[in-house]
Structure 1
Amino acid sequence: MKWKQQSFHQLSNQKLYQILQLRLEVFVVEQECAYPELDGHDESSTHLWLENKNDIVAYCRLVPAGDKYPYISIGRVVVNPLYRSQGYARQLMDKAIEVIRTQGTAAEIFLQGQEHLRHFYGSFGFEEISEVYMDDGIPHVDMLMKLD
Structure 2
Amino acid sequence: MKTVIKSFNEFSIEELYAVLRLRSEVFVVEQDCVYQDIDDKDQKAIHILGYEKEHIAAYTRIFKPGDYFEQASIGRVVVSPSQRGKSFGKDIMLASLAYAKAENFPSVKISAQCYLDKFYTDLGFISTGEKYLEDGIPHQAMVLVIK
1:36-56 deviation per Cα after TM superposition (whole angstroms, max 9, x unaligned): 101111001111011123210
Spell out the pairing of 1:93-112 with structure 2 (5 A cutoff).
Answer: 93-104=93-104, 106-112=105-111
- Is 1:129 aligned to residue 128 of structure 2? yes
Root-mean-square deviation (Å): 0.9
* Equivalent residue letter for 2:126: E
Regions of 4+ moved over 6 Å? none
Give the secondary-structure state (helix, strand or coil) at the position aligned to 1:130. Answer: strand
* Equivalent residue letter for 2:95: K
Task: Determine the C-alpha separation between the residues in 2 that align with 1:107 and 1:52.
Answer: 30
Deviates more, 1:21-30 or 1:44-53: 44-53
Name the residue aligned to 2:137: 138
Q: Size of the alignment, in residue pairs? A: 147
TM-score, structure 1 normalization: 0.96
Deviates more, 1:49-58 or 1:138-147: 49-58
Name the residue aligned to 2:47: 47
Spell out the pairing of 1:10-25 with structure 2 (5 A cutoff).
Answer: 10-25=10-25
Name the residue aligned to 2:69: 69
Task: Determine the C-alpha separation between the residues in 1 that align with 2:113 and 2:52.
Answer: 26
Name the residue aligned to 2:116: 117
Gaps spanning 5+ residues in structure 1: where? none
